Structure 1
Amino acid sequence: MKTRNRILRWLAACALCAACGAQAKGIEKTVDYSVGDQPYRGYIYYDSAGPKKRPVVLMVPNWMGTSEANRRQARQIAGRDYVVFLADMYGRDQQPANPDAAGKLVGQLYGNRLLLRTRVKAAKEQAQAAVKRLKLPANAERIAAIGFCFGGSTVLELARTGEELDAVVSFHGNPSLDAPAPSQPPKTRILVLHGDSDPYVPVAQINAFLDEMRTAKADWQMVRFGGAVHSFTDPDANQPGKAMYDAKSARRAFAMMRDFLADSFAGR
């Protein structure tokens, strides 16, 4: 009888877990907005079964913009922990069809840091406004920004505007840009995750970033992954010696991001 009761309780627990899992649902919402007279479209991701007041993560994707692969990544990062807002840095009808087109768009923004900052600040504002307008399960005042490659550079530029953020995480982004632009001391914690063998980021850029952070007395960390090149978290990257997925480094980098965000959000 005791054994039978234990089995019945176990089956009931399994049924409850299955029911909870069935109720969980990954949500995608689009957010159309304007910067100046140009239309933009961001994407929101969250799981319906997560906490009611989870943090917001502004995600700036790599140079391919709001592509299907980058939307899928945003959904995965959101999980049950965050509401993720995937930023549009180019314009609703300007998403690049190939790397050549992406390179031209990125080059224009790298050459105009003030425009780059205007667009990413607009995305942050839209993310916070959407939480309130759409009554999303999040706290709009708890917000971090993460970015990949071009997106990593972009969220560091957001930090340089002095915007109020809980944390900024850059994955294999250029940590300093050449075009001049006035900067303020960052008011946020910064984590830079960098492939030590990245051929696209000169040592001079690394040193410039280190000098900048030290001078600003910022709360920052940089982790360099031995042997990793550019785009080491991107499963589609396959240019040996240049841009290449590295499963071990990617796994460690995402774990570091989650620990960093959890610690940054803990006091809010």
Structure 2
Amino acid sequence: MSIKTFELISTTENGIQLISYVALPENASDDNSVAGILVAPEWWGVVEHPKTITERLAKAGYAAVAMDVYGEGKLTADAAQANMWMEQVLEDQDMLMARCRLILNDFSDQLAVNGDNLGAIGFCFGGKIVLDMAREGMPLKAVATFHGNPEPKQPADNKFKAKVLVAHGRDDSMVSMEAIEGLKKELDAAEVDYTIDVYDDAKHGFTNPNADERGAKNNVDLGYNETAAKQSWDNMLEFMKANLG
């Protein structure tokens, strides 16, 4: 399916431009709106990987947006820099969620996007972001995380309406199985409908083809696993199809 892409600029109340990246199926139009999926990138920012994910979602028939939560389109391949930016936005998680809500609203205002039929997927740091968006009660029907950080801004409660799919690597040294168990308890307490898939021989970052190179360069325990990447992607598409149509 052919697609079209463009930048979506959202301006925060203090004048920071969030430069997100949108991909739409060619047939999505003002008269033919399609379900939308928000993509929260890894801590690197809106680099090639989330852009590719967004384009793949458009080819699968969804409107998709890679969210620029750092602002000004900042991106990096340096883990120390990425960590600094991530820590900065985590110091003010209300601001981070306000940015996500702003992007969600601007994205769902596009006539080609069905704002009543939204999902979100997140990678690593982005996994925390999309779970927190659901914890905040944003209008998401389905949330999927890949090697995501499950640490909550605040625990899920009855505002959490989204169904959840978690793809976790068994060999992830950055997000432990204990953290995933904690997420299960949290979601159980809030009666959230969730599925957790654990992939063998998969490390943190297993969906990102650049993970090995990034890991080696930055001395971080990352690794790409093609089998787990493909299986988790296919499972996510099935999950979105079941919940968004």
Do the structures match in fold with TM over 0.5? yes
Cα distance in 2 for partners of 1:251, 1:204 equals: 25
The equivalent of 2:185 in structure 1 is 211
Give the aligned partner of residue 195 of structure 2.
221
Mark the structure with the bigger radius of gyration: 1
Specify whether residues 249 and 213 from structure 1 end up closer, same or farther in structure 2 by C-alpha distance, changes over 3 A only: same
Number of the residue aligned with 2:45: 65
How far apart are the structure 2 equivalents of 1:114 and 1:49?
A: 36
State the shift of 1:250 in Å.
0.6
In the alignment, which residue of structure 2 is the partner of 1:200?
Answer: 174
The residue that corresponds to 2:157 in the other structure is 184
Distance apart, 1:104 and its partner CA: 0.6
- Residue in 2 aligned with 1:19? none
Structure 1 partner of 2:225: 246
Is 1:39 aligned to residue 17 of structure 2?
yes
Question: Identity over the aligned pairs, expressed in percent?
Answer: 25
Asked whether the equivalents of residues 9 and 19 of structure 2 are also in contact (C-alpha less than 8 Å), the reply is yes
User: Which residue of 2 is the match for residue 263 of structure 1?
Assistant: 242
1:226 Cα offset (Å): 1.4
Q: Supply the distance in 1 between the matched residues of 2:150 and 2:94 (Cα, whole angstroms).
A: 16
Task: Tell me the CA shift for residue 255 of structure 1.
Answer: 0.6
**Deviation per CA, 1:224-266, whole angstroms, max 9, x where unpaired?**
1112110111001104892111011111000100000000024
* Alignment map for 1:75-224 (pairs within 5 Å): 75-96=55-76, 98-129=78-109, 131-132=110-111, 136=112, 138-177=113-152, 181=154, 183-185=156-158, 186-224=160-198
**More deviation, 251-260/97-106:** 97-106
Q: State the alpha-carbon separation in 1 of the partners of residues 225 and 18 from structure 2.
A: 32
1:145 positional shift: 0.6
Alignment check: 8 A CA contact 1:142 1:265 kept: yes
Aligned to 2:206: 232
Structure number with higher relative contact order (C-alpha < 8 Å, ≥ 6 residues apart): 2
Aligned residues: 236
Deviation at 1:114, TM superposition (A): 2.2
Give the Å deviation of 1:49: 4.0
Task: Determine if contact 2:35/2:63 at 8 Å carries over to the other structure.
Answer: yes
SS state at 1:95 partner: coil
Letter in 2 for 1:195: G
SS for the counterpart of 1:243 is coil
Contact 1:49 1:80 in 2 (8 A): no
* Residues 1:212 and 1:150: Cα distance change in structure 2 (over 3 Å): same
Give CA-to-partner distance per residue, 1:53-81, whole Å, 9 cap, x none.
32111111111111234323311222141
What amino acid is aligned across from residue 11 of structure 2 in structure 1? S
d(CA) in 1 for partners of 2:17, 2:78: 21
Does structure 2 conserve the Cα–Cα contact (< 8 Å) formed by 1:144 and 1:167? Answer: yes
TM-score, normalised via structure 1 length: 0.81
1:28 aligns with: 5
Aligned residue for 2:239, secondary structure, equals: helix
Q: 1:91 to 1:236 in 2, by over 3 A?
A: same
Aligned equivalents of 2:225, 2:155: Cα separation in 1:
35
Check the 8 A contact 1:160/1:184 in 2, yes or no: yes
What is the TM-score when the length of structure 2 is the normalising length? Answer: 0.88
What is the aligned partner in structure 2 of residue 12 from structure 1?
A: none
